[in-house]
Amino acid sequence: MSATTTAGTLSKKDFESSQEVRWCPGCGDYAVIAQLQKLLPTLGIARENFVFISGIGCSSRFPYYMETYGMHGIHGRAPAIATGLKIARPELSVWVATGDGDALAIGGNHFIHALRRNIGLKILLFNNRIYGLTKGQASPTSEFGKKTKTTPLGSIDRPLNPVAVALAAGASFVARVVDVDQPMVGAVLRRAAAHNGTAVIEILQNCIIFNDGAFEHLADKKTRDDHRLVLAHGEPLVFGKNRDKGIRLNGLEPEAVALGQNGVTEADLPIHDERAGHGGLAYVLAQLDAPDFPVPLGVFRDVDAAAYEALNLRLRDEAQAAKGKGDLTKLLKSGETWIVADAPERLGGEMAGERLAVRSE
């Protein structure tokens, strides 16, 4: 990064790197990075205190295109690298850019453990239901029956649901947006940035080359309102262009209903509570999908929980208060130690050319 800039004097341009953006024309990633570059200058954080870390994939080019510190890591390991950084430098704003393959296949273990620890990372999970960078293979979120280069007869894998996985792992902030819905993307990014702990956003992103139109029913402004359920805290689960439909619970089973028919009113619909401690309704909502149900978008869960880095600092302070600051050199030389030396120096040259490990007194 070229120069230090004072927080409060930044603009969108300050976060645009000199690197040529090399996503395909029409890629949904352009819309997301534009919203992010508009948001960051408004957060009151110095530019040198932002870090973007990624794994492998199209979305993982993010660190190149952000004029911040960053690291393009190895496949699936971005949450692990970011966790180490956030523990070492808790004052930094650490963001992870990852994809459905990077986060949920080889990186699945790192992903879920970052969430359960509630470490203060902001995870952008771009889900286009395909491996785009490697030219069109089935990913962990590809639909059942999807024909790709690796599943020419149709996939027989059941797809992972990123929001459901995040909720099951105990994530304290979980949201879902569509790449081209700029107002919602911007609003959810702002809330994620302010969240204390892990914030994960599933971004339904169109791969115009290898899976074009995967989310057209949620992106087309003419039809999307009948296919999406926009979640609003404290509001009933109403959807539809004319807001004349809703989601009702029959026991624990959700069902789509028409308001005004058979005596059904908004009073019969559950209220969305993103702050519910158990997250049960949020998990039910995460299962809703087309064509039987509208797809929920917005914030599923936003609860207060102690961030891992804060707990770690508390443990450090307690340990130092009880035992002192500690001495690394003293620690390394404690207990049984061994000195590696040339044999002639220790044995008068009897074993010349060899090296020995000799126990230190």
Residue by residue, DSSP assigns 90-126 as: TTSEEEEEEEHHIIIIITHHHHHHHHHHT-SEEEEEE
**Is 242 in the same domain as 203?**
no
Give the mean pLDDT of 138-148: 94
Residue 323 in any domain: the answer is no
Residues 134 and 281 in one domain: yes
Q: Is residue 322 part of a domain?
A: no
Residue 325 lies in a domain: no
Q: In this structure, how many other beta carbons lie within 10 angstroms of the beta carbon of residue 44? A: 8
What is the average pLDDT value for the chain, to the nearest integer?
92
Q: What is the pTM of this model?
A: 0.89
| Percentage with pLDDT > 90 across the chain | 85
282 and 349 assigned to the same domain: no
Q: How far apart are CA 268 and CA 237, in angstroms?
A: 10
Q: Give the mean model confidence (pLDDT) for residues 236-246.
A: 96
| Confidence (pLDDT) at 352 | 54
Are residues 119 and 266 both part of a single domain?
no
Confidence bin at 2 (pLDDT 50/70/90)? low
Strand extents, DSSP E, the chain:
50-54, 69-72, 93-99, 121-127, 173-178, 199-204, 228-230, 238-239, 245-250, 253-258, 295-302, 338-342, 355-359
Domain that holds residue 263: 237-270
228 shares its domain with 341: no
Q: Helical H runs in 207-351?
A: 216-219, 280-286, 308-323, 328-332, 343-347
Give the span between the Cα atoms of 194 and 227, in whole angstroms. Answer: 29
Terminal Cα distance for the chain, rounded: 50
Number of structural domains found in the chain: 3
- Looking at the structure, tell me whether residues 231 and 245 fall in a common domain: no
Residues 244 and 186 in one domain: no
Structure tokens at 352: 């010349």
**Domain shared by 137 and 262, yes or no:** no
β 93-99/50-54 pair status? parallel
Contact 171, 161 (CB under 8 A): no
pLDDT band (50, 70, 90) for residue 354 = low
pLDDT higher than threshold 70 for residue 289: yes
